[in-house]
Structure 1
Amino acid sequence: MGEEIPEKSVTPVWVLHPDLRNDRFRRDPEFALQEAVSLAEAMPETDVVGATIVPVPKIRAGWLFGKGKTEELKQQFVETHVDLVIIDGTLTPVQQRNLEEEWNVKILDRTGLILEIFSDRARTREGVLQVEVAALSYQRTRLVRAWTHLERQRGGLGFVGGPGETQVEADRRALDERIQNLKRQLEKVVRTRALHRQSRARVPFPVVALVGYTNAGKSTLFNRLTGANVFAKDMLFATLDPTMRSVELPSGRTIILSDTVGFISELPTQLVASFRATLEEVLEADLILHVRDISHPLTDQQSRDVTTIMTDLGVSKETPLIEVWNKVDLLDAQEQEGILAKSEREEAIFATSSITGQGIEELLDAVSETLTDPKTYRDLVLPYSDGKKRAWLFSEDLVEAETQGEDGFHLKVHWTARQEKNFRDM
């Protein structure tokens, strides 16, 4: 008989959503708690045993919750043998320390939770570097403690600890040095990406970026359009590392389709900063497809969150954008009828189902039409020594007529603004 493989330890988790009544950015508490539970379930080796909305009329300094509520929750955690409490909000280091000591549990706030998930999902070197930069930036603001009552069965960031684990016990200078070293490594990745973009510009294929709230169905749409097998699951942050594939549109035109990490409300600032390199594909995109889960009750709010993050990233308002109202197959007949009617009235809205393929053909036609640039005629004079540029013009089939003069080649070209820019940048 073979040796038995020990079962992985599962950590019992309780999720709390503090409902800050005086917060002008207050989200619907029911849906906020539901999203927080989904995030908690996305962590491996965890078992969500309970979830609670906690009304917070007034924040108690150093504790967040009032004294009575703090004691009531402590009793709840003792009775359910909870080891980890996730608080769906931002905790100060003092609040986290006080609550951990009072409840005798490990606590993750929203930022720590998302970083844990990202740490588990990162597959490429770039993704791992980005998560580590974000994690160290987060750790820099608080004291990291060793915990021995949670058994560790996986890699991660050190927020959820285990026996014998060594955690970051360096001073801020050491952390800063590590962060700077990681950023230098990431800069190399950025330079490599820039070179790849230059190569694509010389081809040239336009880049179409998929963006959207996490779990909106971007990866499923990406797989349908490209025939790829990108990990797609009904789970928050199923996609972390960027994926790019070439796609031939029905018109015969080739594009580069880019799948990106999903956005989420209250995305930690450390993550926005560290994932900027990945999201540069969005900044450089010729067309953005904003994929929305149109079946979600808070789809409009999610859409606003995505728009806010894109603005924060510096995405140009001049970049063409098409809204893809995905998951129409999850709507009832009456809702579908309303959504389809609205999409027919609005030029830049397409109702689709990545699962059934509904609306995909019309979407691809719109992508092709949007990327069809108007062409203009221009007369050029190239010195005889500039054979490289002349060869490029002919290879792109842009030359309508050519004569030779004393000063060089005289060419009449017919090109798009993009092709002219590529020519000037050579």
Structure 2
Amino acid sequence: MEHIRRKVEAGEPLRDTELDTLRSAARDTPGPTLRLAVAHALVNAGAERDALHLLESLRRDFPQDVQVRLGLARALLGLERPGDAEAVLREALVLNPGDPEALKVLAVLALRRGEHGRARAYVAEVLEKDPFDSEAQLVQAELESADVPPPPAPRVQALRSEFSATLLAALHRAGVACRRQGKDLLVKLASGEVGRVDVASLYAAYRDGAEELSAYVAGLVAQLGGLSVLDGEARSLETRVRPVLRPAGFSAQAVGALHRPGPAGLEVFYVLEDPEFVHYLPEASLAPAGLSVEAVDARAWRNLEAQPAPVRPVVLDEGQVVLAETLSGLWAVAGGDGYDAARVLTAEQQRRLVLHTGTGPLRIHLGRREFALVCRESDAPSCESLSRLGTAPDGIAGLFRLSGEGLERL
């Protein structure tokens, strides 16, 4: 008989002969224990309805027995009646407050309903009495995993070629006149002027963001379609205009853009400050705003003078510019906004350079728009490093000398 009871407690189904033996013993033995074992054996065999009739009888005969309530709840759960099972479990807690078996089943039921706070309270009560209760620990682990939000589905990012093609197609569908020119995109703005857009920066912003390609491109089209170089007010232009240095002949790429000859054979163009788009200021826009070329030039340089960039030590690592932890003989004027080549011509930026490099002529490399590289002219190894550094497609080729006499091409 003991062997049969151990099989029942382990949840194993009994053979017919074993079940008959258990039933016979239950009939001959007073009390609920063996009759309850028969009910559990029936549940183990998938006969919950037969077990339910027996358990209801046991509840009537032994109304104060907690184990009968637990067995009845088990049968009800097997019949997919969780609400009735929960009511029976609460009866068990009335008979035996804090009963761990009842609390654990109630915790599981609460967890299934998504009532994590209630489930956590039930489990905590069990573990407070027995911190090593393995079943309660399992429920607690499931609760903790349920509290962790699932990781977001990985976003499938478009390649740059797909991004560019999608953007061009969307602009054409929206009736925005545009065309590719090298790595840039020329867009006819709402004002009738032509703006130059750096596709690489747009793609980088898309890649670093969270939007899907279609949504991001739709936002760009709406933004580009409504762009205007000027809003008609001179004050708006004056606060946004900045000077930029470009190589000789750049006017062929920025047709109609305001520019003048600059130092060292370079040209000074004027752009309107924008974190995403390069807006070259059209020369034709000055008259409606009541501005002269001289006024725009003076204001652009004043604006840039008020925005000096940090000067950071850098090293060259296999052609890449990397921030250095200690002084290396090379520095970067690193505003990162495309104005750094022009910025080295401002008085405030030169004052800051002197604090790092000391007095004396400097060697300047303008091959990257995102920063300008500087070293002392007296530092032959650093000058040699700059001479070997290549030039980006949108950079200014060659090396320059910056001294009290201005900027000179070497």
**Quick check: TM above 0.5?**
no
Structure with higher Rg: it is 2
Instruction: Give the TM-score normalised by the residue count of structure 1.
Output: 0.22
Q: Higher helix fraction: Structure 1 or Structure 2?
A: 2
Q: Which has the higher contact order (CA 8 A, sep 6+)?
A: 1
